[in-house]
């Protein structure tokens, strides 16, 4: 995605403010939009952390501590927002812990989605279902972004890296979630991101703050993003968005390197958009941390990625989403064949990346109505890229955490880590089990899953009625 990610950028179509706003008003004032299939329930309040017992011990059929590390009958002991320990089935339970028996379920680490756009909102009921020509103003977009965040969390994703947001709304949303005002995943946000001017007609008049050219301007923009609270730097090094499947280079090696140098000096990672892979060698040489999308990557690029530890975030499912929603999203119907060809090439590249030993990370690139389906990318990894369910799980846990630089506290269920885990109904022998989410625990707080992503309809066993 490029165009809707860039605030103030003029869209190809003209904004019909009146129609959209009237329709929005008829849906009610700025509350969160209704959930598509289920009644909204309020979240359970965080567990009190001062009253006895001081800890909670959750006993499972099995605990997948990390992909490939399974403890049958394992127990997760949570103390406040932190994991105190993970116990074997026959280990004595701590005397100060309340016991929660979850003997038919499996615990997996809280999942990480390395590529979202939580603030991209659209309600199919607007204006006869048409996509508005311009994004909503920030105050109107926020309730939708909150709902997107909640759906994402309910799919088992406790951390997202948000790579491009209107008016840096992801940073505002992240702050609200961290303050406990909104229920959602923790967000490593990029804010508006960085892109060169001239991509969209009228952009110069609009003067988006992210549109910069030349190493000095790019470096300054990166510093601005960090000052605004960005926890990742996002750079668009090629064209390509929704039904524009091109991938023309937009930035030089020097420009990419300028962003990387600023970010790394602040201990922040860099994600670079490259739709085709034509800029990949510059991205790798500049020392960026992840390459997003890249339909094609040469064998030489893949070898260099493995050697330098650059992760590949293929975002295959997002083009499935666009193809399946072409008319609803107002895209060109003729683009369907293009989407299919792009998806096939993307899959082939991911297969070669896997064979080459490149770290592959799950990024849904979810937008609009895609939230809650974020982990459909894992289905693609298993069904088309040839991963085992455990390998797919790694792309959204341990490998994702390492790529994002948070593997010292997230991506696995280990003592001292943040208490993030997902309760699923199944043993993950099939990747379908990952959609059978019955409970989510984030930083020790139990999230009431109102609508399990897999539609299992079970009651949340961790939330008392």
The site for Zn ion (CB under 5 A) is made up of 1, 365
**Reduced to 3 DSSP states, what percent helix, strand and coil does the chain have, rounded to the nearest 5?**
35, 20, 45
Cα separation, 153 vs 156, whole angstroms: 5
Nearer to Zn ion, 78 or 259 (CB): 259
Nearer to Zn ion, 365 or 379 (CB): 365
The b/e string for 60-77 (b: 16+ C-beta within 10 A; e otherwise) is bbbbbbbbeeebeebbbb
Q: How far is the CB of 241 from Zn ion (least distance, A)?
A: 8
Cα separation, 64 vs 74, whole angstroms: 9
Nearer to Zn ion, 269 or 436 (CB): 269
Half-sphere exposure of 462 (CA within 13 A, CB side): 29
The total of other beta-carbon atoms located within 10 Å of residue 265's CB is 11
Nearer to Zn ion, 1 or 382 (CB): 1
DSSP for residue 28: -
CB 163 within 8 A of CB 193: yes
Q: How far is the CB of 164 from Zn ion (least distance, A)?
A: 6
Q: How far is the CB of 308 from Zn ion (least distance, A)?
A: 23
Nearer to Zn ion, 1 or 288 (CB): 1
CA atoms 444, 450, 323, 341: torsion sign: positive
Nearer to Zn ion, 63 or 145 (CB): 145
Q: How far is the CB of 365 from Zn ion (least distance, A)?
A: 4
Q: Are strands 232-236 and 269-274 parallel, antiparallel or unpaired?
A: parallel
Nearer to Zn ion, 289 or 365 (CB): 365
Q: How far is the CB of 47 from Zn ion (least distance, A)?
A: 35
Q: How far is the CB of 343 from Zn ion (least distance, A)?
A: 16
Q: How far is the CB of 78 from Zn ion (least distance, A)?
A: 33
**Residue with the shortest CB distance to Zn ion:** 1
The b/e string for 237-263 (b: 16+ C-beta within 10 A; e otherwise) is bbbbbbbbbebeebbbeebbbbbbbbb
CB 202 within 8 A of CB 133: no
Nearer to Zn ion, 113 or 365 (CB): 365
Which pair of structure tokens corresponds to residue 390? 């455990």
Q: How far is the CB of 287 from Zn ion (least distance, A)?
A: 21
Q: Are strands 97-109 and 111-116 parallel, antiparallel or unpaired?
A: unpaired
Locus of tokens 């103030």: 8
Nearer to Zn ion, 365 or 420 (CB): 365
Q: How far is the CB of 293 from Zn ion (least distance, A)?
A: 8
CB 424 within 8 A of CB 434: yes
């Amino acid at each position: 995605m490029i165009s809707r990610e860039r605030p103030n950028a003029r869209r190809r179509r003209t904004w019909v403010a009146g129609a959209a706003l009237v329709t929005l008003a008829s849906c009610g004032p700025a509350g969160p939009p209704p959930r598509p299939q289920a009644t909204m329930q309020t979240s359970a309040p965080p567990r009190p952390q001062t009253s006895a017992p001081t800890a909670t011990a959750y006993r499972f059929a099995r605990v997948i501590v990390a992909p490939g590390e399974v403890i049958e009958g394992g127990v997760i002991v949570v103390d406040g927002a932190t994991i105190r320990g993970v116990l074997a089935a026959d280990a004595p339970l701590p005397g100060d812990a309340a016991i929660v028996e979850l003997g038919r379920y499996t615990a997996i680490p809280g999942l990480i989605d390395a590529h979202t756009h939580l603030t991209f909102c659209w309600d199919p009921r607007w204006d006869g279902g048409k996509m508005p020509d311009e994004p909503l103003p920030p105050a109107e977009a926020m309730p939708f972004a909150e709902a997107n965040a909640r759906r994402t969390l309910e799919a088992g994703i406790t951390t997202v890296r948000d790579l491009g947001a209107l008016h840096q709304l992801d940073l505002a949303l992240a702050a609200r979630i961290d303050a406990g005002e909104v229920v959602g995943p923790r967000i490593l946000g990029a804010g508006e991101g960085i892109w060169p001017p001239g991509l969209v007609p009228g952009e110069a008049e609009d003067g988006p703050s992210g549109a910069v050219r030349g190493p000095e301007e790019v470096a300054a923009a990166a510093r601005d993003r960090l000052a605004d609270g960005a926890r990742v730097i996002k750079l668009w090094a090629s064209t390509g968005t929704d039904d524009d499947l091109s991938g023309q280079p937009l930035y030089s090696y020097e420009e990419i390197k300028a962003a990387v140098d600023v970010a790394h000096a602040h201990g922040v990672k860099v994600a670079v958009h490259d739709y085709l892979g034509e800029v990949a060698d510059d991205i790798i040489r500049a020392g960026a941390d992840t390459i997003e999308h890249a339909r094609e990557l040469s064998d030489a690029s893949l070898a260099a990625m493995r050697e330098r530890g650059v992760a590949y975030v293929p975002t295959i499912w997002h083009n499935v989403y666009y193809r399946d929603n072409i008319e609803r999203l107002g895209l060109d119907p003729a683009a369907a064949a293009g989407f299919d060809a792009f998806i096939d090439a993307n899959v082939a590249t991911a297969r070669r990346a896997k064979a080459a030993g490149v770290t592959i990370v799950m990024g849904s690139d979810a937008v609009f109505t895609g939230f809650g389906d974020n982990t459909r990318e894992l289905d693609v990894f298993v069904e088309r890229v040839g991963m085992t369910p455990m390998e797919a799980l790694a792309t959204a846990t341990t490998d994702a955490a390492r790529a994002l630089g948070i593997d010292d506290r997230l991506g696995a269920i280990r003592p001292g880590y943040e208490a993030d885990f997902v309760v699923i109904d199944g043993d993950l022998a099939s990747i379908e089990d990952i959609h059978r989410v019955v409970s989510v625990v984030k930083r020790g707080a139990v999230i009431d899953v109102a609508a399990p992503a897999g539609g299992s309809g079970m009651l949340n066993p961790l939330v008392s009625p």
